[in-house]
Amino acid sequence: MPLARDREATRVPVEFPAFKPIELADRDLIQDRLWAYQPETSELTFTNLFIWRIHYGAMWSLYRDWLLFVFDKPGATYALPPIGPPSRQEVTWRLLQWLKDKGKSEPRLERADQRLVTELAGSGDFLVEPRRDHFDYVYRSQDLIELAGRKYHAKRNYINTFVKKNEFSYEAMAENHLPACVALADRWCEWHRCEEDMNLIGERSAVLESLANFGALKIKGGVIRVNGEVEAFALGEMLNSQTAVVHIEKANPEIRGLYSVINQQFPEHNWREAAFINREQDLGEPQLRETKLSYFPHHMVEKFHVRLRP
């Protein structure tokens, strides 16, 4: 897979079939095109693509009017849906055929949205299957902020118990918070034994990338201090004009109710003007799915697996 290696060329678009690794210098070009698309799937922000680039081997390119992404790791090479105007039948076919010609096993698109599926519906070239483990959970921001009604009774109890037992404060994340957030992320990995799980190792790398590049990524963050110490933090940004997306959320698991507090405080202080909050997928983890469902999502963003028909 040809790559552009010249660092002076990082600000010059790369044209398909060449691809290049995602770098901070690419932010404005990539983010502007993503924002013009107004995505609903949580993967499609520059921040998400950048902080996970090492774990997934993320690269990008341009083909005519479309922005292309390929994730290339041993045993796991696939593309994201082309980003740009309809119709995308031809560019989707070309991208999948290119992966096939490269000898990649099961050339496919992952995290394809319903918009692309609708565009492909008139063609007999593609097989499309839903992937429930990748569906995003989207909540009304008002629900997460107010936790009103009987269905949120247990969540309010967690928060009330926490408030009675702890002296806490919420602060907008700033540069001076970053060392404490890194230390908390390291402790979180010790509690969860990240070194034994490749996915958690990848997540730790993404968390550290987001903190190390907090200013350059132009994202929002918040921290919870408990008895003066940073014990929880969250990071996010606007995904589209109506929806915020929470990329990272970490809390000391030994402090009961703290996750419920950061889950409520971060939207209250940052996303009151957003109609919805996307809290990403559960990746098929039973405990995470149970937790996400317990907040009663307004809707799910479906995602699909797209292959060439044999």
pLDDT digits (tens, 9 = 90+) for 135-154: 999 999 999 999 999 999 99
At 199 the pLDDT is 86
Range in 4-13, 53-62, 71-80, 292-301 with the lowest mean pLDDT: 4-13
Taking 90 as the threshold, does the pLDDT of residue 105 lie above it?
no
* Domains along the sequence of the chain with CATH: 7-135 (3.40.630.30), 137-280 (3.40.630.30)
Residue 170 to residue 172: CA distance in whole angstroms = 7
Q: pTM above 0.75?
A: yes
Taking 60 as the threshold, does the pLDDT of residue 4 lie above it?
no
At 154 the pLDDT is 95
Residue of 192 and 178 predicted with greater confidence: 178
Taking 50 as the threshold, does the pLDDT of residue 111 lie above it?
yes
Taking 90 as the threshold, does the pLDDT of residue 209 lie above it?
yes
Name the percent of the chain lying above pLDDT 70.
96
The pLDDT-based confidence of 12 (bands split at 50, 70, 90) is: low
At 104 the pLDDT is 81
pLDDT 10s digits, 68-88:
999 998 778 999 999 999 999
At 76 the pLDDT is 80
Taking 70 as the threshold, does the pLDDT of residue 198 lie above it?
yes
At 235 the pLDDT is 98
Exposure string for 166-177, b = 16+ CB within 10 A, e = fewer: bebebbebeeeb
Q: Work out the mean pLDDT of the chain and round it to a whole number.
A: 94
At 10 the pLDDT is 45
Range in 103-107, 171-175, 224-228, 285-289 with the lowest mean pLDDT: 103-107
Taking 60 as the threshold, does the pLDDT of residue 3 lie above it?
no
The edge-to-edge listing of strands for the beta sheet with 20-21 is 20-21, 58-63, 66-73, 76-79, 108-112, 304-308, 126-130
Mean of pLDDT values over 277-282: 98
Mean of pLDDT values over 86-112: 94
At 11 the pLDDT is 57
Taking 50 as the threshold, does the pLDDT of residue 32 lie above it?
yes
Q: Which pair of structure tokens corresponds to residue 251?
A: 């809390």
- Using only C-alpha atoms, the chain has a radius of gyration, in whole angstroms, of 20
The span from the first CA to the last CA of the chain, in angstroms, equals: 24
pLDDT 10s digits, 44-66:
999 999 999 999 999 999 999 99
Name the percent of the chain lying above pLDDT 90.
89
Mean of pLDDT values over 36-48: 98
Output phi, psi for 295, to 5 deg. -95, 5
